[in-house]
Structure 1
Amino acid sequence: MTQPTLYERLGERDGIRAVVDDFYDRLLDDETLAPFFSDADVDRLRRTQTDFLCEAAGGPETYDAEPVREAHLHVPFTESHIERALDHLTDSLDSFDVPAADAEAVVGVIAGYREELLARPEEERDERESGQL
């Protein structure tokens, strides 16, 4: 018998969507992070984040939104913002009793995009000019 995938252990799309909804509720309640979402289509963000995590967890969904780097170039995140958001994600996973190893895997997926989340438009231009892109 095969072991359940991370996607299955997280409750498939419905379970992942519940965690994502809780996560965004926490982000929007955070006085430091909420301003980043003032002009955002949060319903769309919830859908795309759900697709992203479903795909990353081995589900059949496909993340087909803008690449992470490009989607966040205009957002002036700092390292402390990323850490704060990851703490909220950890709390959301904990509130759904996701086992520690699975929670670490989910947080690790998001943390793996740290450089993309912290990228700035001027860096994009500099890399393009130097031929790195």
Structure 2
Amino acid sequence: MVYQEPTGVGMSQSTLYERLGGHDGIRAVVDDFYDRLLEDDLVGPLFEDADLERLRKTQTDFLCEAAGGPETYDAAPVEEAHSHVPFTEAHIERAVEHLQDSLDAYDVPESDAQAVVGAVASYRAELLANGDDD
């Protein structure tokens, strides 16, 4: 994905979705993000039995919808979908770091990166509902 810098006339018309490269650009960031998660000694084990293709697709749909795209996140509610995962604060913090690193790898400017991270971070309580709060 090449970040699409808003330019010229209609600049204010550019949505976060468009600036992130649409579905394909967002999917590239999601794939990079999951690759980083899986390689991490702390969070990687949480995904040992996961359907990774389904996770990548639903995360892409979630971020596309959150960024103003036409995709719809239609998976189970976040708390329900993650009810079997014992997330801790440390897991969440590490995942946010990896997401930021993935966005940085694709040269997403800070303001747009923060919008993406904020969309994910807004579900912190739901992710921790079944975990151990470290």
**TM-score, normalization: structure 2?**
0.88
d(CA) in 1 for partners of 2:77 and 2:67?
A: 18
In the alignment, does 2:38 pair up with 1:38?
Answer: no
**In 1, distance between residues paired with 2:25 and 2:47?**
23
Unaligned runs of 5+ in 2: 1-9
State yes or no: 1:85 paired with 2:95: yes
Q: Could you tell me which of 38, 48, 66 is aligned with 1:56?
A: 66
**C-alpha distance in 2, partners of 1:34/1:18?**
19
1:118 aligns with 2:128: yes
Please name the residue that 1:3 is paired with: 13
Structure ranking higher in helix proportion: 1
Q: Does 1:106 align with 2:107?
A: no
Identity fraction in percent: 73
Give the SS at the match of 2:13.
Answer: coil
Q: Which amino acid aligns with 1:92?
A: S
Aligned residue pairs: how many?
A: 121
- TM-score normalised by the chain length of structure 1: 0.89
Give the C-alpha shift of residue 12 in structure 1: 0.3
- Structure 1: stretches of 5+ with no match in the other structure: 122-133
Partner of 1:67: 77
Q: Is the 8 A contact 2:87 2:130 kept in 1?
A: no
Q: RMSD of aligned C-alpha atoms? A: 1.0
- Aligned twin of 2:7: none
Consecutive aligned runs of 4 or more in structure 1 exceeding 6 Å deviation = none
**Alignment check: 8 A CA contact 1:73 1:118 kept:** no
Give the aligned residue type for 2:74.
D
CA contact (8 A) 1:68 1:116 kept: yes
